[in-house]
Amino acid sequence: MPASEETSSGPVIHDRRRIDPVTGQVRGKHAASKPAGTRGAGRPGQGPEAAGTAEATGPSRSARSAGSQEDHHAQTTQKHPEEVPEVVSEEAATGGTQPAAAQDSKQAADFEAQLAERTADLQRLQAEYANYRKRVDRDRAAVREQAVAGTLAGLLPVLDAIDQAREHGELSGGFKSVADSLQAATARLGLVTYGEKGDPFDPKIHEALTSSYSADVAEDTCVEILQPGYQVGDRILRPARVAVAEPATGPDGTSNEPDWTDGEEGN
């Protein structure tokens, strides 16, 4: 080849760098194989010498551009960590469901155990509260009955005086109205009068002041009521004071009356 022609055209240099040293951008596949001389031939002052200068200074610029791009990528990763793709192992993707299912079944069993325990506690508390209410109601009724009984016990002498006045015919006029109102009020409070002539003698509710023998009775019988008895509910405020007559003969026909003649003969 003639020297003049070689000088005018110059050597052909292929720039295969992926990073453009001028713009700092990543080159395409075809741009990397384009000859450097033809790309700079249209620009004034960029002949072979300028291409050589660019060749000499190119690596330092590409290195700086590559470093800046790496820094930019690292900053972007730090600012947006959610954009980094999550690496999932094959073991976690295929076999991770079995431990999760076992954990879910264990949690369900724990929840069922806690539910059963809380239900038992609730039932126990409900039973205790029901027993507490029954006990309170029973104690309230007992306190009320005791208070009423104490009040009525203090009125028994007044009621005895009214009965005596009625027997002697002294209960008349306004005093009779007061007496009737008092007896009606005590009856509303639950005061009950008991003790009638001819009732069988019961030591639990009767108090025997006198005793005699009679052929007219077959068992111990109240033949006279000296003072009536009073009770409120099952509480005896005062037993009935009575005169008792015992049978004169026993079941075998023998006499129950004592023989005083034998004692007099012995004396």
Percent of the chain with pLDDT over 90: 37
The pTM for the full model equals: 0.48
The domain spans of the chain are 3-81, 105-152, 192-258
Q: Which are the contacts of 77, defined by CB distance < 8 A and separation ≥ 6?
A: 83, 84
CA-based nearest residue to 194, from 225, 220, 167:
225
pLDDT tens-place string over residues 239-260: 999 999 998 776 666 766 666 5
Query: pLDDT per residue over 170-229, tens digit each?
Result: 888 888 899 999 999 999 999 999 999 989 999 999 999 999 988 888 889 999 999 999
For 192-258, the fitting CATH number among 3.40.30.10, 2.10.50.10, 2.30.110.10, 2.30.22.10 is: 2.30.22.10
Higher pLDDT, 14 or 164: 164
Q: Count H helices, E strands: the chain? A: 7, 6
What contacts 214, CB < 8 A, 6 or more positions away? 221, 223, 245, 246, 247, 248
Q: What is the pLDDT of residues 142-187, one digit of tens each?
A: 898 889 999 999 999 999 999 889 888 888 888 889 999 999 999 9
| pLDDT digit string, tens, across residues 40-98 | 444 444 444 444 444 444 444 554 555 555 555 555 555 444 444 444 454 445 555 56
